[in-house]
Structure 1
């Protein structure tokens, strides 16, 4: 005959073991209220909870407070090296507040609405989204549903939702200014998808930076996605246009690596024949041949700031749908050269 299943440890059991009132345990184990308890009592309660193997009943807590202490995060491509550090920042903020994070990979934009509906059904307290498209109807749906939502790495051009982004236009200005200072005049652009806010902003940034220098964009090819293969295809299109450029500003590092692939296949050298710049400073681009000149972004801070803004929304501390813009920096390596 099997032994009876032991009853789950309750908050009353922890209170008895710690020698304190049940309400004290409740506050000590609540991320929102633990600041009301002294460090000494917190230690006693947490030690008792660990010793007894106490696990909070999240379902019961959600019924009492109306919160599940979970948030959802939607990213467009988890294999893109940009997103792991963003997720690390989100998770660091969430862990400090006792929240659990659900992460979903949404590569197909048509699946975004069903995924969000599933998140709502799970009663998440809020969402951090890195998948917003231009004029995205999903934003209106989330507003109508009353779901706390913060965008990260992409901003809503209409300003309906708060967002944390890097300054895409400044990033492209840094790249263009570097190339112009190195003597380049025929500068081309491998642009990101134009249905994505970052793709549009970076293209506009390149064009404006060139105008500021009295130059025009030599040529442009649009990438279908932020991927290495898309960069290879776009670079082939670019080289088929008119006179070969002296330098190419790429919308991201993966696209730049695709450009490397195509140039190498055609017997062209970087930077001797064409200088190349990227964007993101993803891991290992300092180890490719040649090491990539690129734009470094504070990815972890992007995620952390976005999560902090979301928790302010959840706690009723946010007053408006503001956009936080973080500053990028240029990292010069060996994929660009000075020409006479």
Structure 2
């Protein structure tokens, strides 16, 4: 079979191999490998190294990242899994993490799990096949085996904006960077109580998700701390952190015991809350006060502008990336549970209850 001739000079080809460079330089392929590897370049003469380098440049040869990864078991790539790519909370987190990782020479692969544990496991397995050096998981929920799978595959992993339900501080399940969700919801409840509200409902997040679990617990604890009975507070859980789920859950709340304010577990849910209130002929901020959580980029532009809990999106991404880099450098490093402090942002969606309400 005739040999494939090298392409003309000046036409870079991603398929160019070491054998092509060897033919162009008139040397053996093993000589090319030594000449192009800084660690073994001293094993060939300067003249041969120069001839090989000129041939490689003329043919447009590039080192194969895949081949290098197979040799070193490292790809300089980090995988990032998020539960919902259209949720505005994740882009600023991912961007901050990616910016820091790029500064350390890593590329990132971002994938959407759709809150599906089976899809999450498939994505982790596929990323393992591509030799990712580490994973950032923003998709962990009840029933997930993501961290267990990463441990089995020996891939360092850090949870971001999520913890494994039931995992306490410093748990062996893995490092995590989250918000202090209980504190955040407590700030929203305290604000409503200071305005004079006593009948406060909670539109909770989906079951099995750590943010929903912690925010619901924080809601009850904040009422209890002010001498109110949390068992008397209406609570409905949304099926997902989406506008549609918020609309449906709010309609259910409105069909139950009366309340003058609602603490929602997420800003996306609040868009559905506004829709449900409008359908019922009620005005957010006037008839029913509404608070959200996350301070997503658009919530100051809706009407009325949303009172919400601001989280440290960029700081969360940076700290999670830093933790992952540390654990990749030292797999025996102690696992850490970092909880960032949120703050209350007061806007027009909250006001004192109407007289007699």
TM-score (norm 1): 0.84
Q: Is the Cα contact below 8 Å between 1:9 and 1:53 reproduced in 2?
A: no
Mapping for residues 26-105 of structure 1, pairs under 5 Å: 57-105=64-112
Q: Which residue number in structure 2 is paired with residue 191 of structure 1?
A: 204
Deviation at 1:54, TM superposition (A): 8.2
Report Cα offsets for 1:211-261 as digits up to 9, x if no partner: 00111242001000000110000001111112x211000000010110000
1:120 pairs with one of 115, 128, 152: 128
* Cα distance between partner residues in 1 of 2:174 and 2:144: 11
Measured at CA, do residues 66 and 292 of structure 1 come closer, stay the same or move farther in structure 2, by a change above 3 Å? same
* Cα distance between partner residues in 1 of 2:328 and 2:61: 27
Q: Which residue number in structure 1 is paired with residue 219 of structure 2?
A: 206
Aligned positions, number: 311
* Cα distance between partner residues in 2 of 1:112 and 1:3: 43
Deviation at 1:145, TM superposition (A): 2.0
2:322 pairs with one of 308, 327, 333: 308
Matched, 1:239 2:254: yes
Q: Is the Cα contact below 8 Å between 1:164 and 1:324 reproduced in 2?
A: yes
Matched, 1:325 2:345: no
Deviation at 1:111, TM superposition (A): 1.2
Q: Which residue number in structure 1 is paired with residue 281 of structure 2?
A: 267
Measured at CA, do residues 66 and 109 of structure 1 come closer, stay the same or move farther in structure 2, by a change above 3 Å? closer
* Cα distance between partner residues in 2 of 1:239 and 1:191: 14
Q: Which residue number in structure 2 is paired with residue 31 of structure 1?
A: none
Deviation at 1:329, TM superposition (A): 0.6
Q: Which residue number in structure 2 is paired with residue 219 of structure 1?
A: 234
SS of 2:197's partner is coil
Q: Which has the larger radius of gyration?
A: 2
Matched, 1:152 2:160: yes
2:193 pairs with one of 168, 180, 192: 180
Report Cα offsets for 1:188-216 as digits up to 9, x if no partner: 00000121111100000000011001112
Deviation at 1:268, TM superposition (A): 0.4
* Cα distance between partner residues in 1 of 2:124 and 2:320: 18
Matched, 1:276 2:284: no
Q: Is the Cα contact below 8 Å between 1:312 and 1:318 reproduced in 2?
A: no
* Cα distance between partner residues in 2 of 1:54 and 1:104: 30
* Cα distance between partner residues in 2 of 1:122 and 1:3: 29
Q: Which residue number in structure 2 is paired with residue 287 of structure 1?
A: 301
Deviation at 1:56, TM superposition (A): 5.0
Deviation at 1:336, TM superposition (A): 0.1
Deviation at 1:326, TM superposition (A): 0.6
Bigger mean CA deviation after superposition, 196-205 or 211-220: 211-220
Q: Which runs of 5+ in 1 are unaligned?
A: 11-20, 27-49
Measured at CA, do residues 184 and 54 of structure 1 come closer, stay the same or move farther in structure 2, by a change above 3 Å? farther
SS of 1:131's partner is coil
Deviation at 1:264, TM superposition (A): 0.6
Measured at CA, do residues 22 and 143 of structure 1 come closer, stay the same or move farther in structure 2, by a change above 3 Å? closer
CA RMSD of aligned residues (A): 2.9
* Cα distance between partner residues in 1 of 2:147 and 2:251: 36
TM-score (norm 2): 0.80
Runs of 4+ in structure 1 deviating by more than 6 angstroms, as ranges, are 7-10
* Cα distance between partner residues in 2 of 1:63 and 1:86: 31
Q: Is the Cα contact below 8 Å between 2:285 and 2:348 reproduced in 1?
A: yes
Measured at CA, do residues 273 and 87 of structure 1 come closer, stay the same or move farther in structure 2, by a change above 3 Å? same
